[in-house]
Structure 1
Amino acid sequence: MQIDSHPKQFAELFPVETTKGFIIPEYQRRYSWKNEQIEQLFNDIWEEDEGYYIGNLLVTNDPEDKDRPDVIDGQQRLITTSLLLLGIWNKLEIMWRQLSALSGEAQSSDEEQTLNVSKDIKKIGKIQDYILHRLYIFDKDDEPVTPRITPLKEDRDYYNALLSQITDNPQKVSGNRVFNNRYRHICELFNDEEKFPDVSSVDQFYHKLLSTTILQISVTELSDAFSVFSSLNAKGLPLTLVDLLKGQFIGEASRKGIDKSETLEDWDEFVGIFTAKDEDVNVSIVTQFLLNNYDVFESTGTKSITKGKALRLYETVIQDEYRRGSNYLDTLLSRAELFAMITRVDGHHHADGRIDRQLDALKRLDSTQAIPLLLSLFADQKTFGLTNDHVSQILDILIDFYVRRNITLVPKSSNTRSRMLGLVRELTSLAGPRGKAAVNLIASTLKEISSSDSVFLEALKSEGLYDKNAKTARYVLIALERGLTGTSSFDKGHPDNLDELGDNGKPIWTIEHILPEGENLPKWWREMISPDDPDPETAASIQEQYVHLLGNLTLTPYNSEFKQKPFVNAEDSYEDGMESYDKSKRDYRVNGHFVGMRHPFRLNASIPDTANGETIETKTSWTPQDIQRRTEFLANEVVKLFAFPEDVTE
């Protein structure tokens, strides 16, 4: 096996000159990063020092085309960083228009301001030209010919159309919602006026992006690539923050006369909290704990430390603790147990079942920014004068906040964490609120930074819920099923199992799109949603607009069987009394039980237009008007379910 590996700066992967580029081979999956992953990479680049390591890039080299290797691992990060470049170009374009208007004001007589504006305009032009050359391969006449990245066929047209906006020949392509949403989110990140008030701040981020380090690993054979890929994913990289801190603990303890074996035993107990039986240490979650532990208990500010700075900061803490005769590993042990409970590491639970279920809910809602607050609450619960009832009220408030945040995307993740740390500082101050006053402080702060009910409602009614955050969509649907009025389909003989996992470790109940997802809609669906023009392209455009809306979603344990079946099958219809039937979504029946749209869910009661006399048995169509009607109803119910509480009185 011939392997060649070199750390490279991002600028080397997207050089201004040469014909170097990357091809995403057909056996790869499509681009699938979510907003949260993009935002994490963005924040890492923003917060860390230049040269920050962002991961591996595994490629195979074609001897006949060495400048265009196939990407085996790293596609998601590679495409995302190219979209970050495009986002920088777009932000600078907005600034260019603003500065051009400013420079054109005839009444301006400030020579220094005029000179500065002129310099900024020239800087923008230079950076934009570099970005164009980094994203495109140019011909001998210095014309952009093709993007440096060639995505999968299914992604290519839309990716190329996005990039073409910075050329003289912009294209318009519809139909790929993922790329559109992800790029729009990137543009929103750059529209943060606090981070990017001027051209210099954008230029600073641009150069930090160019300086990021990627380990490019090249192999000659595809079989070798998969062996390396498996090894990288199984073993990870050496000398992580966790490894280095282990050495720091051993060294400092030894200098204080503590036996090395004793320190190793304490360390193993500490990392063992995050380690499954017969598995290697989960470096990622230990690192998360260490960063959160420092932010909550060792820092006094509201800005999070970064992985790059954590080692130096922890060195000082460890030295000070051992100097005072304190075994800092013992301190970490107790806090790590709480962190494992909060992040739902297997085997770590809260004694109060109600609180344990709420922590499960927060985990499903991707509430990582709230970890500092939760860690502080559980570590200092008595000091804060909080009963378990108080804690449960706080967790309910956090659930309300995160449902709203995940649907409206307000506030941004970085701002959320900063406010959570701010709450920690207020609670831990000597004059901090206690008991119900602490609960009210948290409630009022989260309500203040959250979207209003009207904004929340509008997002639920007009924007796709599933494609924005599938986990939150599932959580909301389950909450609706439990919270809507009507007779429940669950009873003592059939207990509620909406949160349970199957033998495969995946949820038993999953989201079903009534109007189905997927390309190439069958004729029956095209005619139903676009009767006046059932052309595939027209129907696909309508499908894209409505398919992920709240009103098109329900829950089922038979998602994989439904696929693109018709709502009702007119040619091979269900007949009363049939034990099993699988020809339509409405009448799907297994062993005598309806499991499709006629399953007696409270959620499904809103599928027929009951105000106009429809019942589920008589409903034979599912149209965009139905989706809008049901979305309106369910959206209002969601706002009620996740409304912030009034002041706590007990």
Structure 2
Amino acid sequence: MRVIPQIQNNNQSDYRTVLSDVGVISQCDAPAYAGNRKIFRAFRYFQARIEEMVEGENDRLASIMAFLDKVSQACLVKIEVASHADAYTLFESLNNRGMPLTAIDLIKNKLLARLETTEPGKVDHYFDVWNKLLGYLGDDYSVQERFFRHYYNAFKDPLNVPFRKDDDKRKDPLGPVATRSNLIQIYEKLINQDAKHHLQAIRSAGQLYALMLARNTDEAWAPLDKPLKDLDRIQGAPSYLLMLYLLVRREALGIDVTQLEEIARLLVCFFVRRNLTDTPPTRDLTRLFMATIDKVAALSGTAVAKTIRNELLAVSASDETFRSKLEGAIYEENAGVTRFVLCALAEQSMTKETWVDLWKYEGKLFVWTIEHIFPQGDNIPAFWVAMIADGDVKKAKAMQETHVHKLGNLTISGFNSALGNKSFKEKRDRTDSNGRNVGYRNGLRLNAELATTEAWSVKQIDARTTTLVDQVMSLFTLTGTKAY
């Protein structure tokens, strides 16, 4: 073949099959569903057009030659650039239609091209290795790109060693940190240095990174399932580079699954506090975890977890700041953290027999959502005005502004839309068509107080807020001997 399409999306194998079918090249096996994809559909279109010319009443030879003349005038323009990074820049400048070529596509193309040069005839094998890597990471491009950034940032020091020269004062010739803008340049240099070694190392790391993506199929890692899922739920992805480093180097660091579980839970506690207080700022997180890796690289055993705890404590907001945020309008401050905290509180009293999946989805929405006990809508129902403010609408509005988003006025409900602006007792006693309790008497310990009280007031909101805040402070401590 003189024109060799990309392997991506079966383009090359489909094209080869078309050429084989018409006898241009030797026979080859057709990939599954090739006839439904664009190359075969385009071939069939032109084949039908040519058959129309042959079967028409006009001069068949003239029609064919005219068509051939048009084909012969078509041009393929080849633009050569110095690197894959330049190719990406050029492609992004020219491409305004079709499937965008991603940085990961270019890294793959560079990798396979290099391996075909160094080990001719084995590109299919290495393509399978690459597909296994993507199988671990899934189809989401943002996750794939994040993994490649995290891999470099986690192992930056050993990856830079072969590139350091005596006369070069730069500590990191490949770059101090991987970003979206320099990702291609970094991996292009790594591939040129040793494509086979880096592909195998990245594939092995990808298999472990899959643990953070809830794609674990090995029972040996089962203790990590819950804390790593919670780390994702609390938006702790910036710490995946630290977890990846610990997982890959666990034997050298002398840590086991139990210690990895402890560290994952510690990171959950850190992100609950960080995401509510915004301390440290988002821009500092990557360098924080890279610096932490530097601190633990030469340690082993319990010293690893202890050092990580100390590093997180050093940059976290104080307990006073954390408590202040918890006591305020937490839902307005960060609804995601609020939901996570409420779910964590509810889960504390669950047993294996009473376990309820509070993170279950239906479509793209959670089944269990945050419920405001005293409603948050602009039009406060009359029965709520009477209960909260003795019938004074203005007073009820003022109380709503100061208390509706407090932790004490929030709970988790699987039937939020069915509760809405109903009275307190209706919300408390609500049942479904099968007679099951779907209101505040749904069995969650988080709702224990709500299930037995007869009314709701600002005083009760304040008291419940204090109780729940104390529980959250204890649950997500960074200084205690046990994390949540």
TM-score (norm. length: structure 1): 0.53
Q: CA deviation at 1:552?
A: 1.0
Counterpart of 2:427 in structure 1 is 585
Contact 1:349 1:356 in 2 (8 A): no
Contact 2:385 2:391 in 1 (8 A): no
Matched, 1:266 2:266: no
- The secondary structure found in structure 2 opposite 1:238 is coil
Counterpart of 1:386 in structure 2 is 255
Counterpart of 2:115 in structure 1 is 253
Larger CA Rg, structure 1 vs 2: 2
Q: CA deviation at 1:468?
A: 3.3
Greater percentage in strand: 1
Determine the C-alpha separation between the residues in 2 that align with 1:539 and 1:641: 33
Contact 1:587 1:594 in 2 (8 A): yes
Counterpart of 2:368 in structure 1 is 509
2:226 is aligned, of 348, 351, 357, to: 357
Which one has more relative contact order, counting CA pairs under 8 Å at least 6 apart? 1
Q: 1:601 to 1:267 in 2, by over 3 A?
A: closer
| 1:291 partner amino acid | R
Determine the C-alpha separation between the residues in 2 that align with 1:263 and 1:392: 34
2:334 is aligned, of 466, 469, 474, to: 469
Counterpart of 1:293 in structure 2 is 151
Counterpart of 1:619 in structure 2 is 454
| 1:335 partner amino acid | A
**1:47-66 counterparts in 2 under 5 A?**
none
Q: CA deviation at 1:510?
A: 2.6
Q: 1:282 to 1:605 in 2, by over 3 A?
A: closer
Contact 1:514 1:554 in 2 (8 A): yes
- The secondary structure found in structure 1 opposite 2:412 is strand
Counterpart of 2:72 in structure 1 is none
Q: CA deviation at 1:529?
A: 3.8
Q: CA deviation at 1:420?
A: 0.9
Counterpart of 2:439 in structure 1 is 596
Counterpart of 2:324 in structure 1 is 458
Q: CA deviation at 1:598?
A: 3.2
Contact 1:369 1:417 in 2 (8 A): yes
Determine the C-alpha separation between the residues in 1 that align with 2:258 and 2:322: 28
Note the alpha carbon deviations across 1:211-246, whole angstroms, 9 max, x for none. xxx99xxxxxxxxxxxx9xxx9xx8x5121012112
Contact 1:303 1:418 in 2 (8 A): no
Q: CA deviation at 1:647?
A: 6.6
Matched, 1:435 2:304: no
Q: What is the aligned-residue identity percentage?
A: 28
Note the alpha carbon deviations across 1:393-444, whole angstroms, 9 max, x for none. 111211211111122221112222211111112222xxx2210011110111
Q: CA deviation at 1:527?
A: 4.0
**1:367-378 counterparts in 2 under 5 A?**
367-378=236-247
Contact 2:430 2:438 in 1 (8 A): yes
| 1:295 partner amino acid | N
Note the alpha carbon deviations across 1:114-164, whole angstroms, 9 max, x for none. xxxxxxxxxxxxxxxxxxxxxxxxxxxxxxxxxxxxxxxxxxxxxxxxxxx
Question: Aligned pair count?
Answer: 373
Contact 2:107 2:184 in 1 (8 A): yes
Q: 1:247 to 1:644 in 2, by over 3 A?
A: same
**1:18-97 counterparts in 2 under 5 A?**
none
Greater percentage in helix: 2
Q: Structure 2: any 5+ residue segments left out of the alignment?
A: 1-91, 161-171
Counterpart of 2:383 in structure 1 is 524
- The secondary structure found in structure 2 opposite 1:565 is coil
- The secondary structure found in structure 2 opposite 1:250 is helix
1:635 is aligned, of 462, 469, 477, to: 469
Matched, 1:241 2:103: yes
Q: Structure 1: any 5+ residue segments left out of the alignment?
A: 1-213, 216-227, 276-280, 569-583, 608-615
**1:51-450 counterparts in 2 under 5 A?**
238-259=100-121, 260-275=123-138, 281-299=139-157, 304-322=177-195, 326-344=196-214, 346=215, 348=217, 351-428=220-297, 432-450=298-316
Q: 1:618 to 1:370 in 2, by over 3 A?
A: closer
Determine the C-alpha separation between the residues in 1 that align with 2:261 and 2:221: 9
Contact 2:223 2:257 in 1 (8 A): no
Q: 1:258 to 1:551 in 2, by over 3 A?
A: farther
| 2:241 partner amino acid | P
Q: CA deviation at 1:511?
A: 2.1
Note the alpha carbon deviations across 1:245-270, whole angstroms, 9 max, x for none. 12211222233243333333332232
Q: CA deviation at 1:525?
A: 2.7
Greater CA drift, 356-365 or 499-508: 499-508
Determine the C-alpha separation between the residues in 1 that align with 2:452 and 2:308: 47
Note the alpha carbon deviations across 1:438-476, whole angstroms, 9 max, x for none. 1110111111211222221111012x2233333332222
Q: CA deviation at 1:628?
A: 1.7
| 1:343 partner amino acid | L
Q: CA deviation at 1:562?
A: 0.6
Determine the C-alpha separation between the residues in 2 that align with 1:294 and 1:261: 26
Determine the C-alpha separation between the residues in 1 that align with 2:379 and 2:177: 47
Q: 1:329 to 1:563 in 2, by over 3 A?
A: same
Counterpart of 1:574 in structure 2 is none
CA RMSD of aligned residues (A): 3.0
